[in-house]
Structure 1
Amino acid sequence: MKNTYFFLLVIIVQFTNAQDYYFPERNESWQPISPVEASIDSNKLDAVIAFAKANEYSGSRDLRIAILEGFKSEPFHEIQGPTKKRGGPAGMILKNGKLVTQWGDTKRVDMTFSVTKSFLSTVAGLAVDQGLIANVDDKVQSYVWDDTFAGRHNSQITWSQLLQQNSAWQGTLFGGQDWADRPPREGGIDDWKYAKPATPGTVMEYNDVRVNVLAYSLLQVWRQPLPQVLKEHVMDRIGASTTWRWYGYKDAWVDVDGLQMKSVTGGGHSGAGMFINTEDMARFGMLFLKNGKWNDQQLISSEWIDAAITPSQPNVNYGFMWWLNQKGPRHWNGVGEDVFYAAGFGGNFIVVDRKNDLVVVTRWLEPSKIGVFMKNLIDAF
């Protein structure tokens, strides 16, 4: 009898815990939770939101101007894809999938820049889950039909190295040259252009051309536009709105099976990338909070998510296009080391804190302030 009672108690507890999480249907308002129910000090929470509003990204709200100013040190840099004037600070804080608070216009669609990389990484994860990519340590040359990965250097590059941004791929894609993207602060063009490349897998270099090579390679694997893949396998299934868009550069058309398809970008470095609202970003964060599961459906394997948030060898703060709050150069003091996040130019963040069952989305927060913002939020519990 005692064992039966214990068994029933376990079932009741598990059922109750499952019900604690809220997964809104498409076009459904987020279920609110009060600060008291969320165990948050309401005065401290108000101060956190005031901090976000008071520390708006200092760049121009005309993102075309902000992009050109932000990357003016790059030779030959130009806008090649769509841009959009942005809104003001906005954000959401979810506890167990329930809305603790929000600020700004959460339905406004804005550029997200390198937050796009975490969506791109997820498309790679779906390819692994479905067996289109057998192993992330496979050489990409085996999957891409043309000479993108030809030569002694590029032929050694693996999927994991592209995902961790340590591939050191060399070449030109859609007019973008790898050596001209985020060049070193010292030396001239010849020094950058003819420098000996790092051995693949040994040095992380944040480089959008190489990220776009990953997107191009995944297009070859899926043989359908990546926004369509993401929509079908993730965004529709988590109830995202119909307003998000994923763009590529104006000349990034590729012939696949006789059809013209746009190869999308992994950011907005030269325009393009993911245009999305705050609420859809929060849904995406919830999927990762729950280890790839939305309600009772496993959309992304937990094995992939574990791999995506495993530190890379060259950079302890970076996994498969997710930033990790490990002890390292980008560590946020006072915030758990198991926290991981997507980050984009201009202060766009999706932060996942499993320990506290939190998903936090902030938009247009001065990027240098995100660590303080998160510490203050955690202190509010």
Structure 2
Amino acid sequence: MEKTATVLDLLKARSGVYLPSVYDTDEGRPPRGSHKPGTHWFYNNWDFNVRGTILERQTGQTVFEAFASRVEVPLSMQDYSQDDGHFHYGPESKHPVYKMRLSTRDLARVGLLYLRGGRWGDTQLVPAKWVHESTQPHSEIGEGKGYGYLWVTAAANAPGDSISTNVPMFYASGFGGQ
């Protein structure tokens, strides 16, 4: 059953693959085989880590090389370099964590790219359809909150949200709350 999970399931954290992974705990992890791929949301580092392995096998580039050529350079990031990214391996899985440090101003450029529908200057870097689809809630994860393709979404005036706006929003939320 796990082998039927798709890349889209991985992007939505709905793979149904509940294996140990680097930088993860067993806490709350459903038992293997308890949910079919695409049917249940669970924030699962295995889903995230395996995507880096898939990217490298399909493109021949590491996550950091692809990020540099497809994001860092086109957005003219001021602070990021490939040295700010590194893999962390562990005995839990053959799929490493890929960690990178981004300054606030470089990360703000990524946010601005998405707010502009994937357009940077005169160039459409990310298809507008992808930007829209990826920032829509595909899973309900809490009162007024959802999960897109790696983005957390919140309805306008979502209850219990520390940031309340009168418009829907999306944001990245990762390790350490960044």
Could you say if the C-alpha distance between residues 282 and 183 of structure 1 is closer, same or farther in structure 2, counting changes exceeding 3 Å?
same
Q: Secondary structure at the match of 1:340?
A: strand
Q: Secondary structure at the match of 1:346?
A: helix
Report the equivalent of 1:164: 12
Shift of 1:246: 2.1
Native 8 Å contact 1:241 1:280 kept in 2? yes
Counterparts of 1:39-118 in structure 2, within 5 Å, are: none
From the CA coordinates, give the structure whose radius of gyration is larger: 1
Count of residues in Structure 1 that have an aligned counterpart in Structure 2: 169
Native 8 Å contact 1:308 1:322 kept in 2? yes
d(CA) in 1 for partners of 2:30, 2:10:
20
Native 8 Å contact 1:162 1:214 kept in 2? yes
The alignment status of 1:247 with 2:86, answered yes or no, reads: yes
Shift of 1:209: 2.0
Counterparts of 1:1-381 in structure 2, within 5 Å, are: 153-171=1-19, 176=22, 181-184=25-28, 196-244=33-81, 245-250=84-89, 265=97, 273-315=99-141, 317-326=146-155, 331=161, 334-348=164-178
Paired amino acid for 2:107: M
Shift of 1:230: 1.2
Please list every run of 5 or more consecutive structure 2 residues that lacks an aligned counterpart in the other structure. none
**Higher RCO structure, 1 or 2 (CA under 8 Å, sep 6+):** 1
d(CA) in 2 for partners of 1:215, 1:330:
33
Q: Secondary structure at the match of 2:69?
A: helix
Q: Structure 2 length normalisation: TM-score?
A: 0.80
d(CA) in 1 for partners of 2:150, 2:30:
25
Native 8 Å contact 2:78 2:106 kept in 1? yes
Q: Structure 1 length normalisation: TM-score?
A: 0.40
Could you say if the C-alpha distance between residues 199 and 302 of structure 1 is closer, same or farther in structure 2, counting changes exceeding 3 Å?
same
Q: Secondary structure at the match of 1:248?
A: strand
Native 8 Å contact 1:168 1:197 kept in 2? yes
Shift of 1:235: 1.1
d(CA) in 2 for partners of 1:236, 1:319:
26
Shift of 1:251: 5.9
Please list every run of 5 or more consecutive structure 1 residues that lacks an aligned counterpart in the other structure. 1-152, 185-191, 253-262, 266-271, 349-381
